[in-house]
């Protein structure tokens, strides 16, 4: 009996999470002796929410999915910020798979699934990261999604630029400690704020920052003052998780809290905000006296990137369905202005047609005949790569 509705590694790799028509296609091709070598590419025609750019995420799982399968896999590096089309409106190939079609048709569904959702989450996280400027951002969104994918959600949010994640398993995967202090139930069960705050301080390891909730029972300003006067130098920060029915002008509330703490000598106490935040709200609050944000549903429930996998060559012959460009291609990106240019595979381009900067081929060979030949980057390395590119991009 399957108690949790989660596919395991073996079931995914064997094709049990595939759409049935791919399995039927494999059966037909094998029985009719029609299996052929193909080149398939993964592209997207449009990004959700009118986003101008997206973060490519999910490559690590993709590589393990194809490990041991006799095909070659090329991809842009994980963490690359891309646009859906190049400067001439041609879809950019982000992944390329070459081999007998029956060798990978049964995992085409999983291939797209690994990339579509992780890239959506990483992109939403990167937008929040950009909006927050130099403020801290933490992922609090796994409680809104199926627990089976919580590690993926936390990893993608971290790669997108978040400073940390609340999930225990997700934090383990990215090689960081989970972040988070106390929920409202702790205060409700104790019956008053001060008892709960002091109990937290007495029980929890000193290495955990003393950040307390100040919106459970009373006005945020007065709870913040109470927290500071009771914990004093031990208090690292306060968190406002003010519900929508009480919010009013949240920025004004934050400014008021900051003022009251400062005039009492508690300038060291940081202010964190959570609850219903998205990139637009974070961008507004980041101009005020906020030190960090806890962002949940906006990132964990991010729209997926609508990738598609299409055959563009059969036995070396260019062929594609209507609406897609046939033939194997190269994807180039300018090192100066980050614009993309797509060419045929046998063509090269040295200089950016727009700014004259150096053009670099972005598709790297990661798998050769089923063997992973490139080092898989650590999440921290990928995150740093994303942050470096984000310096160029805007939210518009």
> For 65-108, what is each residue's pLDDT tens digit?
999 999 999 999 999 999 999 999 999 999 999 999 999 999 99
Closest CA to 383 of 51, 137, 213: 137
Partners of 91 in the β-ladder? 85
Across the range 343-357, mean pLDDT stands at 95
Report pLDDT for 246: 64
Q: Residues of the chain with pLDDT > 90: what percent?
A: 95
Q: What is the pLDDT of residue 105?
A: 98
- Tell me the per-residue pLDDT of 385-395, one tens digit each, with 9 for 90 and over: 999 999 999 99
Q: What is the spatial distance between Cα 11 and Cα 13, in angstroms, rounded to a whole number? A: 6
C-alpha separations of 305 from 107, 120, 384 in Å: 18, 5, 22
CATH 3.30.70.2860 holds for 133-300: no
Mean pLDDT of the chain: 96
**The CATH classification of domain 9-120+303-390, taken from the options 3.40.50.720, 3.20.140.10, 3.30.70.20, 3.40.50.2000:** 3.20.140.10
Write out pLDDT tens, residues 117-174.
Answer: 999 999 999 999 999 999 999 999 999 999 999 999 999 999 999 999 999 999 999 9
Q: Is the pLDDT of residue 363 over 80?
A: yes
Task: Give the per-residue pLDDT at 1.
Answer: 84
Report residue 247's pLDDT band, with 50, 70 and 90 as the boundaries.
low
Give how far Cα 205 sits from Cα of 139, 142, 233, 238, Å: 22, 24, 16, 18
**Kind plus residue range of the DSSP H or E element containing 96:** strand 95-100
Mean pLDDT throughout 43-67? 97
Half-sphere exposure of residue 84, counting CA atoms within 13 Å on the CB side?
A: 13
User: For the chain, what's the residue count?
Assistant: 396
- Which residue is associated with the tokens 């409700």? 188
Residue with tokens 């980041």: 286
Which of 169, 149, 164, 176 is closest to 294 using CA atoms? 164
Residue ranges of the chain that CATH labels 3.20.20.70: 133-300
* Prediction pTM value: 0.96
Q: Please say if the pLDDT value at position 55 is more than 70.
A: yes
pLDDT per position as a tens digit, 275-330: 999 999 999 999 999 999 999 999 999 999 999 999 999 999 999 999 999 999 99
User: Which residues of the chain does CATH 3.20.140.10 include?
Assistant: 9-120+303-390
pLDDT, tens digit, 9 for 90 and up, residues 165-224:
999 999 999 999 999 989 999 999 999 999 999 999 999 999 999 999 998 898 899 999
Closest CA to 115 of 161, 154, 79, 166: 79
Q: How much is the average pLDDT of 226-234?
A: 96
To the nearest 10 degrees (0 to 180), the angle between helices 108-131 and 379-390 is 50
Average pLDDT of span 12-29: 97
- What angle (nearest 5°) sits at the alpha carbon of residue 299, between those of residues 295 and 305? 165
Phi and psi, residue 292, nearest 5°:
-170, 165
pLDDT at 244 over 80: no
């Amino acid at each position: 009996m399957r108690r949790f509705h989660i596919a395991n590694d073996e079931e995914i790799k064997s094709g049990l999470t595939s759409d049935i028509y791919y399995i039927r296609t494999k059966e037909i091709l094998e029985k009719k002796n029609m299996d052929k070598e193909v080149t398939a590419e993964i592209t997207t025609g449009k990004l959700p929410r009118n986003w101008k750019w997206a973060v490519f995420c999910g490559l690590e799982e993709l590589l393990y999915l194809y490990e041991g399968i006799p095909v070659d896999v090329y991809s842009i590096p994980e963490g690359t910020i891309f646009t859906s089309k190049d400067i001439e409106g041609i879809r950019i190939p982000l992944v390329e798979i070459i081999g007998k079609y029956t060798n990978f048709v049964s995992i085409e569904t999983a291939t797209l699934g690994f990339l579509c959702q992780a890239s959506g989450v990483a992109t939403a996280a990167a937008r929040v990261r950009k909006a927050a400027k130099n403020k801290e951002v933490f992922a609090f969104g796994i409680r809104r999604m199926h627990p089976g994918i919580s590690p993926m959600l936390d990893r993608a949010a971290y790669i997108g630029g978040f400073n940390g994640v609340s999930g225990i398993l997700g934090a383990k995967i990215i090689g960081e400690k989970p972040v988070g202090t106390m929920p409202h139930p702790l205060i409700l069960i104790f019956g008053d704020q001060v008892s709960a705050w002091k109990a937290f301080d007495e029980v929890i390891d000193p290495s955990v920052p003393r950040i307390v909730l100040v919106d459970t029972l009373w006005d945020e300003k007065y709870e913040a003052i109470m927290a500071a006067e009771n914990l004093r130098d031990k208090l690292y920060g306060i968190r406002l998780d003010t519900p929508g029915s009480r919010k009013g002008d949240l920025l004004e509330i934050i400014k008021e809290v900051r003022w009251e703490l400062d005039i009492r000598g508690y300038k060291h106490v940081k202010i964190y905000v959570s609850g219903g935040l998205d990139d637009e709200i974070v961008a507004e609050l980041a101009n005020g006296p906020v030190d960090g944000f806890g962002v949940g549903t906006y990132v964990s429930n991010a729209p997926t990137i609508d990738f598609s996998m299409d055959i563009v060559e059969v036995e070396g012959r260019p062929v594609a369905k209507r609406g897609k460009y046939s033939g194997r291609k190269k994807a180039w990106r300018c090192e100066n202005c980050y614009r993309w240019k797509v060419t045929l595979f046998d063509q090269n381009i040295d200089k950016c047609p727009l700014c004259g900067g150096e053009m670099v081929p972005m598709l790297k060979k990661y798998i050769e005949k089923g063997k992973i030949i490139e080092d898989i980057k650590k999440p921290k390395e990928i995150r740093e790569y994303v942050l470096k590119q984000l310096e160029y991009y805007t939210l518009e």
